[in-house]
Amino acid sequence: MPIPLDPRKKAAAVKIHVKTGAGVDITWADGHASHYEFAYLRDECPCATCNDERGKKDAFAAAAPAAGPFAPLPMFKPKPRAQAATVVGNYAVQISFTDGHATGIYSYDHLRTICPCAECAKAFRTAIP
């Protein structure tokens, strides 16, 4: 039996601004409005490959000693942009990025959970004691 969807995570309106590069704007059923930059969405991709890479990076960071004041310079990576986007049914958005990545399907449930505002961080990302 499927888990009932939290009504706060139901999208009322979705605007994807691929041509302008402005990102994704969602108005939720409860009236909350969220804005997502494409670079943020690329970093928060929910696909299995990206989840695995994040897990490896976290494990490496935990195992590596502190870099101290002379940490190596990070490699330059251009800011990812969206090349195309499609709505997947009534539950998600799929975005193709300029770095060639296109396998992430961003469910509305996931998007509301990762909403960058403090209100959503408190409501959806804090652990319940």
pLDDT tens digits, one per residue of 62-99: 776 655 566 667 778 788 899 999 999 999 999 999 99
So what's the pLDDT on residue 79?
87
Cβ contact 64:10 at 8 Å: no
Averaged pLDDT for residues 28-54: 95
So what's the pLDDT on residue 35?
98
What's the predicted TM-score (pTM) here?
0.83
Bridge partner list, 14: 26
pLDDT bin (cut points 50, 70, 90) of residue 118 is very high
